[in-house]
Chain A
Amino acid sequence: MAKSGEDRLSTLPIELIHRILSFLDAAAAVKTCILSKRWRSIWKCLPVLNLDDNYFQDTYAFDYFVDHILSLRDDSANLYELNVVCHEELEDGDVIDSIIDHVTQTPSILSHIQVLTIQAECVVQNLHNLSICQSLTTLELSEIAMEITPFNFPSLKCFYLFDCRFESGSETFFNAFEDCANLEQLFIDDCFFYGEIQNFQIVAPKLIELRISHWRVDEVFDSDCVIELFTPKLQLFRYHDSYMYEFSTEESLSFVEEVYIDMDEFSEDKDLFLRLTELFEIMESAKSVFLSTSIIQVLSMFSKELAEESSPFSRVETIKLIKDSSSSSSSSYAVPSTVMNYLFGKSTEFDIYEWKGTKSRSIQICKG
């Protein structure tokens, strides 16, 4: 019995070797060619490539490596996932542009690639060429800078933008995702959109989850830019920032289940108060509502106005208070009765919790 086990293990099937090597850095995967004759060309057919400059002395060596691995790959082997990470700041985006060219010019990659992630601090020129790629479902971009015209990725389902800089020119209306009609998940984190945008539209008929954090439109922090949502299927909305943009929508978002709004700072600002209450009304269907204690504080500063507002959340079941770890660990938190009445007005049953990270526990509510 033990012997047959050993025999079975001595030659793992090629798909299992591919799977292991798919989790390795590409340089380490290529180096397996030295192991034996059977292994000599295995790296040429890998379904996943992880290109990382961490393993190279400088950008030049990484560039040289990328050039070789892509051109020496077996052109008939399908590539499903390509992950590129450059930790070093690049002088130009040539490495990234040549990788994108390789993707769009190699049929076995172009028609099969599903996941592409690029992390590189550089200006990228030809990202839009990926629009001809019909298998791409997940695109994650970090630290890149580029001029944008509306993104045109018709097959894309998940689009993640982290720490990116976009130059949008002199357009005042900007509809960035109109040609990404299949988008289901959109994360925009720490991104700047430079230009003169007054009206940023997110048109995504299939969008389920939208996360926005530390997003700056027009570089100006008190920008009057309006973010318009045309996302009729939206279920999850997350917003985390020190600033609140004005949100608007033409049609109600009746599928919203969960709303998470975390403000780092707060001030006695009537505009902020109005933007918050408007956003609550847009998210009126939410069953779970997560609010930072700073938002409760903003609301409580306008109790006179609140008393005249009707309660926004018609289906709310739970409200959780987001407390950051620096705030006091006291288990009770005073929520003024005007705020309570406003938040829970139409609901007869609800629970309220304090929430830190993934843990939540019941919180004693004191009417202030």
Chain B
Amino acid sequence: MQKTEGEESKAENEEVKQVTLMTSDGVKMKVEISIVYEMEIVRSFIEVNDADHSVPFPLPNVSSHTLDLIIELVKNEYDDEFMKTFSHDELKEVLVAANYLNMKTLLDFIATAIANLLEKKSVEFIRNFFNIVNDFTPEEEAEIRKTNEWVFQDLDED
């Protein structure tokens, strides 16, 4: 639906087919309006203000590298294979940016991908992914396993 509207405005007016976005590292990027329309934060601003598209819209929380990844993902209609090439930091960067830009489809897509990545992984892998420092003492950790035996019972047998 958003795409259709993008295509319509593209057909109506050649000038509005791209919007310039200014990333946190100062890069100006021209982005197709159909992609920009998936970014609720930019879309609502453009619609309310009927803004001049040549003035860059600032995205102080999104780097040019992250924006590149997002544009590629949307262009490729959320291709799993492309996303599998992302590093853990890139996955998290895209997640945080999708949340900031309020891109619902991308947010769910990337959250699902991260959930799939973490499923059935070791505690150490997950700590590593989220940069978590284990602040439990071995005694505390044993205590948690004991009080939550209703979920850890099968794990102990592995």
Contacts and interface: CB of A to CB of B under 8 A. Distances in A.
Interface of A: 1, 5-6, 8-13, 15-17, 19-25, 27-28, 30-40, 55-57, 61, 64-65, 67-69
15 contacts: A8-B96, A9-B92, A9-B96, A20-B114, A20-B115, A22-B111, A25-B119, A31-B151, A35-B127, A36-B132, A36-B135, A36-B136, A40-B144, A67-B150, A69-B150
A220 to B, nearest CB: 44
B17 to A, nearest CB: 28
A37 B119 contact: no
Contacts of B25: 1
Nearest to B115: A23
A9 B127 contact: no
Contacts of B130: 10, 12, 17, 35
Interface in B55-114: 63, 89, 92-93, 95-96, 99, 107-108, 111-112, 114
A25 B116 CA distance: 10
Given A35-B132, A65-B150, 12 more contacts: A16-B111, A17-B130, A19-B107, A20-B118, A23-B111, A28-B120, A33-B148, A34-B123, A35-B126, A57-B154, A65-B151, A68-B150
B132 A39 contact: yes
A28 B120 CA distance: 7
A9 B89 contact: yes
Contact of B115 (A1, A24, A34, A37): A24
B99 A37 contact: no
Interface in B115-145: 115-116, 118-120, 123, 126-127, 130-136, 141, 144-145
B2 interface: no
A19 B111 contact: yes
A34 B135 contact: no
Contact of B93 (A5, A28, A34, A38): A5
The secondary-structure label for the interface of chain B is helix
Interface string B43-63: 000000000000000000001
Contacts of B89: 5-6, 9
Contacts of B116: 23
A67 B150 CA distance: 9
Nearest to B131: A10
A121 to B, nearest CB: 22
Contacts of B154: 55-57, 61
Nearest to B148: A33
Interface residues of B, number: 39
B2 to A, nearest CB: 20
B99 A16 contact: yes
Contact of A16 (B63, B95, B131): B95
Nearest to B91: A9
Give the 5 A-B residue pairs with the shortest CB-CB distance, closest first: A23-B115, A10-B131, A68-B150, A9-B92, A19-B111
Contacts of B107: 19
Contacts of B136: 34, 36-37
A21 B115 contact: yes
A106 B55 CA distance: 52
Nearest to A40: B144
Contacts of A19: 107-108, 111
A31 B119 CA distance: 11
B88 to A, nearest CB: 9
Contacts of B153: 61
A61 B148 CA distance: 13
A261 B144 CA distance: 57
A158 B104 CA distance: 21
B155 interface: yes
Contacts of B99: 13, 15-16
A20 B127 contact: no
Given A22-B111, A23-B112, A23-B115, A64 B95 contact: no
Contacts of A33: 144, 148
Nearest to B88: A9
A5 B151 contact: no
Contacts of A68: 150-151
B122 to A, nearest CB: 11
B123 A35 contact: yes
Contacts of A25: 119
A327 B132 CA distance: 57
Contacts of A6: 89, 131
B119 A24 contact: yes
Contacts of A40: 144
A274 B119 CA distance: 54
